[in-house]
Amino acid sequence: MPLPMQFLLYMLIGWVSRQQAEVIEYLKAENLALRKKLGGKRLRFTDAERRRLARKAKPLGRARLRELSPIVTPDTLLRWYRELVAQKYDGSARRGPGRPRIAGEIRELIIEMAIDNPRWGYTRIRGALANLDYTVGRNTIKRILAENGIDPADRRPMSWRTFLKAHWGAIAATDFFTVEGITWKGLVRYFVLFVIDLKTRRIEIVGIVTSPNGAWMTQIARNWTDSEDGFLLRTRYLIHDRDPLFAKGFRGILDGSGVRPVRLPSRSPNLNAYAERFVRSIKAECLAQVIPIGEAHLRRAVREYVAHYHSERNHQGIGNRLIEVSANGSRESGSIECRERLGGLLRYYRRAA
């Protein structure tokens, strides 16, 4: 599928989510009606059916299963899952005649390959195992995946995490957050605009103003697409919400510079999760701990946090590493010193030069 069509699908995810919610409500009603038709009769399941239901039920948890009114109780589903896990490590059964069973390490590898690579079929997995000097038959792989409730390749969906990672080098996101500051006029609300590169998590604070308008946003778009040092110089897509400030003129400048704006559906903050996570971080770790006294004080606090965010704060999303590593950060010897920002609110430990 061409890349523009994929992003069109991304923009419509909010609509799809609503459709899925309606489908789930219908299936719950249909399930309830069928259970009434059974009249309390007990259903009997095969071992393969139990394994499949148990594997699907485990991520949902007991509370969500009760909401769905499944044909068996949540406790039964979770018991089947525990039995499935116990069976994996059960060595008490006698080994019958025939070919020896596949080693547990190889079974785990087959399952891992199928989950991490949803487009890989049985033959593709067999080839990958052959690269590791493991000889496993295609039907054996099929049986192992069926025993663990894993669907064939054409029915395994690609996760959004995998999809986004495949395009991160060309995607950025932008958003506003607000901060209340104290001035001689009383409380003043400041609007902070920022942009984040999804792959590197690098942040740029674009501006802090009390009354953003269309002309200001137009100039921001020009700065971002500057041919020499614009933040979006190597970016093809910019994710943003439907705030009226992201107006037609703003989007037109981006389009003209080769950056396509991607407007998210209404009320869908999860689709801009990386930007939302930065807002949560800066507020919880910094702005919620200080009282901004005027714009200059707010700008200093934000500037100090962004410097800390880039070169002193570890990020779980990129392997618990720093975004920017200094020469001192790689030292293996020397005394340990603590660097403080904002009076000790932000701290970083490193080897002394």
- Domain with residue 200: its CATH number is 3.30.420.10
What pLDDT, on the 0 to 100 scale, is given for residue 77?
A: 60
What pLDDT, on the 0 to 100 scale, is given for residue 207?
A: 94
CA-CA distance, 5 to 11, in Å (whole number)?
A: 10
* Phi-psi domain of 267 (left: phi exceeds 0; alpha: psi -120 through 50; beta: other): left
What pLDDT, on the 0 to 100 scale, is given for residue 149?
A: 81
CA-CA distance, 167 to 1, in Å (whole number)?
A: 14
Instruction: Answer whether residue 63 is part of any domain.
Output: no
* Phi-psi domain of 168 (left: phi exceeds 0; alpha: psi -120 through 50; beta: other): alpha
Whole-model pTM: value is 0.57
What pLDDT, on the 0 to 100 scale, is given for residue 249?
A: 93
Give, as one character, the DSSP assignment of residue 41: P
Tokens of 149: 């409730």
Instruction: Answer whether residue 202 is part of any domain.
Output: yes
What pLDDT, on the 0 to 100 scale, is given for residue 269?
A: 75
Residues whose CB is less than 8 angstroms from the CB of residue 49 and which lie 6 or more positions away in sequence, other chains included: none
What pLDDT, on the 0 to 100 scale, is given for residue 60?
A: 65
What pLDDT, on the 0 to 100 scale, is given for residue 297?
A: 94
CA-CA distance, 256 to 348, in Å (whole number)?
A: 42
Instruction: Answer whether residue 159 is part of any domain.
Output: no
Instruction: Answer whether residue 59 is part of any domain.
Output: no
Instruction: Answer whether residue 279 is part of any domain.
Output: yes
**Residue 350 and residue 336 in contact, taking contact as beta carbons nearer than 8 Å:** yes
Pairing of strands 171-183, 237-240: parallel
Instruction: Answer whether residue 220 is part of any domain.
Output: yes
Instruction: Answer whether residue 5 is part of any domain.
Output: yes
**Residue 343 and residue 289 in contact, taking contact as beta carbons nearer than 8 Å:** no
Each residue's pLDDT expressed in tens, for the chain with a length of 353 residues: 455 555 555 555 555 566 666 666 666 766 666 667 766 666 676 767 767 766 766 676 666 666 665 666 667 666 766 776 677 666 655 555 555 566 778 888 888 888 878 788 888 888 888 888 888 888 888 888 888 888 787 776 666 566 666 777 789 999 999 999 998 888 999 999 999 998 889 999 999 999 999 999 999 999 999 988 899 988 898 999 999 999 999 999 999 999 999 898 887 778 888 999 999 999 999 999 999 999 999 999 999 999 999 999 998 888 889 998 876 555 667 788 888 999 889 998 887 76
Count, residues in the chain: 353
Distances (CA, A) of 225 to 72, 230, 259, 300: 57, 5, 8, 26
For residue 50, which of 89, 90, 82 has the smallest C-alpha distance? 82
What domain range includes position 281?
166-339
Structural domains counted in the chain: 2
What pLDDT, on the 0 to 100 scale, is given for residue 188?
A: 93
CA-CA distance, 238 to 315, in Å (whole number)?
A: 22
Instruction: Answer whether residue 87 is part of any domain.
Output: no
CA-CA distance, 243 to 249, in Å (whole number)?
A: 13
Tokens 């400030």: give the residue.
Answer: 245
Residues whose CB is less than 8 angstroms from the CB of residue 47 and which lie 6 or more positions away in sequence, other chains included: none
CA-CA distance, 295 to 112, in Å (whole number)?
A: 52
What pLDDT, on the 0 to 100 scale, is given for residue 173?
A: 93
Reading across the β-sheet that carries 186-197, which strands appear in turn?
A: 203-209, 186-197, 171-183, 237-240, 260-263
